[in-house]
Amino acid sequence: MSNGIDIEFLEFILQYAYKLNDKRQQMQYLFDIVRNNGESWEYEEVNTKILEYIIEECEFDNELIFEYVFALQKLATVMHRSYNTEQLFAGKELCEKALDRYEESGLDNEYLKSHIYKTLEDCCSYLAEYEEIKIFARENCNYYLIAKTDAVH
């Protein structure tokens, strides 16, 4: 038995988040649910829907660029775990979109950028035709920073 949130509660979760005063606080609440659900396949549907909601809410809000890029990367990670070719390709495209938006916005968060590259590499690892992108992502990912930061948290 897990402590994650099931799909039956999704509407309630989104309504509760909507009632929080601050939009950044809303997004943090939703990210916390995705984090608490973990990587289990049984929460893939609810995590996907929450991340899609975050992406939709943050896409055109310049104050929430970080949250938008982070949600794109997290959704790509969920897609990567399916090992389905269509999902892997969609995950690759999400990573590319996240990198584009990261660069356009002037974000300066090497940890987030490295996670995007890592997820891009993960998606391309199962798509033989994207070997060059996989190598590029591997060369640009700071694995040491990810390992060091994750070890602390």
pLDDT of residue 152: 80
Task: Count Cα atoms within 13 angstroms, Cβ side, for 130.
Answer: 20
Question: How far apart are the C-alpha atoms of 73 and 146, rounded to whole Å?
Answer: 14
- Predicted TM-score (pTM) of the model is 0.90
pLDDT value, residue 1: 42
pLDDT at 38: 79
Per-residue pLDDT of the chain (153 residues; tens, 9 = 90+): 456 666 778 788 888 888 888 999 999 999 998 988 877 778 888 899 999 999 999 999 999 999 999 999 999 999 998 888 999 999 999 999 999 999 999 999 999 999 999 999 999 998 889 999 999 999 999 999 999 998 886
Asked whether the beta carbons of 125 and 134 are under 8 A apart, the reply is yes
Cα distance between residue 29 and residue 25, in whole Å? 6
Q: Measured between alpha carbons, how far is 30 from 11 in angstroms, rounded to an integer?
A: 12
